[in-house]
Amino acid sequence: MGSGQRVAVFGAYGHTGRFVVAELVERGYVPIVSGRDAGRLRELAASYGPGPGLDVRPAPVDDPAALDRALAGAVAVINCAGPFAVTAAPVIEAALRAGIPYVDVAAEIEANLDTFAHFGERARAAKAVVIPAMAFFGGLSDLLVTAAMGDWTSADEAHIAYGLSSWHPTAGTRTAGAVSRERRDGRRVRYSGGRLEYHDDALPTLKWSFPEPMGAREVIGEFSMADVVTVPSHLTIPEVRGYMAAEAARDLAAADTPAPVAVGGGEGNGDRRSSQTFVVDVVVRAGGVERRAVARGRDIYAVSAPLAVEAVGWVLAGRTRGVGAGVLSAGAVFDSVGFLGALSAHISVELFR
């Protein structure tokens, strides 16, 4: 557990950031809460009441000195502030100056590409660990693909189907999506033939047979998420395809879909989780042989917190598969089966291989 170690959370008062702060507190860490809005940070700290409390350190993302003060004394930083096209690079720079690991929950494809491209060599030279997309989109699917692969060193294709019961996007999700669309000029992206392709084709509607009780559902094909960056960063799979439950895709597309609403039930993070449930169904194929991994849980935003905080704990404990330093995806840096097992209180996982 955290044993009083300080972990900085940038964007701590955002929807996912609040889950991350609560997860850190539950595990015995002392969160340093940071971001541009000092009033919202103080409000967040006050919600924890008397006791050790939270360490409040406001820092605009464009103020390196303030970021350095925010990270002083921290053993790691978790960046929860989107759009990550704006925040990732400055916070990574601050982490490198502080000599601490960096983890973020970015789902933005382009922002994650930037992190791998711009910080890979620098992180290796600094012997630093930088883990982007350590969240539901990007990190979880990468762990599942890696776990399904098992002893395979390559595969012909990977298919990642997201069976979300609904998708009530946060304001941050909507803003990040708008930034990504602008960066790719409204085009769509897919990973095929061992590379990213940008295209204007309409996305196909298909049927996907999810495990029971979900069963066969309509999905939107070529619905690419951050796994088209994380999976190919360390696995030789020339085709990485994503699918999204059609009802969830319609929720996301609708301008009037409300933000997530907490329904209560449970302690800590559970008090703020929504009723949304998910199944992530991963299929990898090689030479006509198929392997599969299935994850089930509740609330895609809430579950990003234990993913990110568990990653910090494993890095600090040196449980990094001997890969050393650099910009690393979850499946590359951690033992995927062991890591998923450590999250059994939050995610149930089945492997078929």
DSSP states of 228-250: HHHTTTTSB-SEEEEEEEHHHHH
Q: What are 292-315's pLDDT values in tens digits?
A: 999 999 999 999 999 999 999 999
* Cβ-Cβ contacts under 8 Å for 185 (sequence gap 6 or more): none
- Where b means 16+ CB within 10 Å and e means fewer, 52-73 reads eebbbbbbebeeeebbebbbee
CATH of segment(s) 136-299+337-352: 3.30.360.10
Asked if 9 and 78 count as a contact pair (C-beta separation under 8 A), the reply is yes
Cβ atoms 83, 200 nearer than 8 A: no
- CA 219, CA 208: separation in Å to the nearest integer? 6
CATH class of the domain whose range is 6-134+304-335: alpha beta
**Number of Cβ atoms within 10 Å of the Cβ of 351:** 16
CB-based burial label for 201 (10 Å; 0-12, 13-18, 19+): exposed
What separation in angstroms does the CA of 274 have from each of 153, 256, 270? 38, 18, 9
**Block residue for tokens 């002083």:** 72
Contacts of 4 (CB under 8 A, 6+ apart): 28, 29, 30
**Residue 31, CA atoms < 13 Å, CB-side half-sphere:** 30
Residue 270 has pLDDT above 70, yes or no: no
Domain segments of the chain as ranges: 6-134+304-335, 136-299+337-352
Q: What's the average model confidence in pLDDT over 20-31?
A: 96
Looking at residues 224-235, what average pLDDT do you find? 98
Question: Higher pLDDT residue, 4 or 64?
Answer: 64
Helix (H, G, I), strand (E, B) or coil at 53: coil
Find, among 50, 53, 48, 20, the residue nearest to 35 by Cα. 20
Q: What is the pLDDT of residue 212?
A: 83
Residues 106-153 pLDDT 10s:
999 999 999 999 999 999 999 999 999 999 999 999 999 999 999 999
What is the C-alpha separation between 134 and 315, in angstroms, rounded? Answer: 13
Q: Is the pLDDT of residue 336 over 50?
A: yes
Amino acid at 333: V
The pLDDT confidence band at residue 52, using thresholds 50, 70 and 90, is low
Residue 268 has pLDDT above 70, yes or no: no
Handedness of CA 149, 298, 176, 18 (dihedral sign): negative
Residue with tokens 């509607």: 205
- Which two structure tokens, joined as six digits, stand for 229? 């960056």
Give 251's pLDDT tier (boundaries 50, 70, 90): very high
Q: Is the per-residue pLDDT at 64 higher than 90?
A: yes
Q: Is the pLDDT of residue 96 over 70?
A: yes
Give which of 94, 104, 22 is closest to 59, Cα–Cα. Answer: 94
pLDDT of residue 19: 97
Rounded Cα gap, residues 75 and 72, in angstroms: 9
Residue of 211, 208, 207, 189 lying closest to 198 (CA atoms): 189
What is the residue-wise DSSP string for 97-159?
HHT--EEE----HHHHHHHHHHHHHHHHHTT-EEE---SIIIIIHHHHHHHHHTT-SB-SEEE
The mean per-residue pLDDT over the stretch 212-219 comes to: 91
Neighbours of 15 (CB within 10 A): 19
Kind of pairing between the strands at 6-10 and 76-79: parallel
